[in-house]
Amino acid sequence: MNYFITGTDTDVGKTYVTRLLLESLKREGRIAAGYKPFCCGSRQDTIELLEASSSQLGLTLDEINPQWFKAPASPFAAGLLENRPTDLDAAVAGFAQLQARCENILVEGAGGWEVPLTADATIADLAQKLALPVIVVVNNKLGALNHTLLTVRAIAARGLRCAGIILNQVADERDPASISHRHILELHAPDVPVLAEIMHGETHLVWPPEL
């Protein structure tokens, strides 16, 4: 059971949601791991994924996150700044190595769906190479509908299945516009289920039955 986790933008809570999903899988008795092939800036996200992965796997931080760039930028830009280019093939190989040890892997992208990885490839190309169903994490606020529908349709254009949308309330206070988002998305993207609505600070998520 492997999924690719993308977002409508950066700072939408991809790691937060991925961690909740991993913990849900573990409560069901499954061995699960997070994988973030590209990380830029703070490595805290990958530390959290390592902590949320099943301890019996004995994974290291470099196995969870093989390519880390210190600059808080897109992987392509960060690689240029450090004179150390990203390696898309190595990212795919890292997933294959992890897959040999674990049946349930959640792969977290970097930023949004079309964030550049190289001069001619983006996160979408990575997802396409892995050929995994995609879960879209959305910062549930005013403006989210446009970003969500664009992302869902871009996933379909790549020939990939969008397994669902998770609406995540990042801000302390709920944006009034967010109240209707689930209903509107169900009308405009009827083939893509809204898997969950996560309130700010929520720490427990049941693995969505639609998955």
Q: Of 14, 26, 36, 141, which residue is the catalytic one?
A: 36
First to last CA, the chain: 9
DSSP state of 8: S
Tell me if residue 142 falls in helix, strand or coil: coil
Told to judge if 70 belongs to the known catalytic residues of this protein, a careful annotator would answer no
The answer to whether the CB of 17 falls within 8 A of the CB of 6 is no
Q: Does pLDDT of 209 surpass 90?
A: no
Tell me if residue 94 falls in helix, strand or coil: helix
Q: Does pLDDT of 62 surpass 90?
A: yes
> Distance of CA 25 to CAs 9, 32, 54, 158, Å?
25, 7, 10, 28
How far apart are alpha carbons 206 and 99 in whole angstroms? 23
Percent of the chain with pLDDT over 70: 100
Q: Which two tokens stand for residue 171?
A: 């801000």
The answer to whether the CB of 167 falls within 8 A of the CB of 196 is yes
Q: pLDDT-derived band of residue 53, with 50, 70 and 90 as boundaries?
A: very high
Residues across the chain: 211
**Per residue in 17-42, pLDDT tens?**
999 999 999 999 999 999 999 999 99
How far apart are alpha carbons 53 and 72 in whole angstroms? 24
CATH of domain 19-103+110-131: 3.40.50.300
Kindly provide the b/e burial profile for residues 88-102, where b requires at least 16 CB atoms within 10 angstroms of the residue's own CB.
beebeebbeebeeeb
Q: Which sequence spans correspond to the domains of the chain?
A: 19-103+110-131, 133-211
**Per residue in 128-180, pLDDT tens?**
999 999 999 999 999 999 999 999 999 999 999 999 999 999 999 998 989 99
Q: Give the pLDDT score at 137.
A: 98
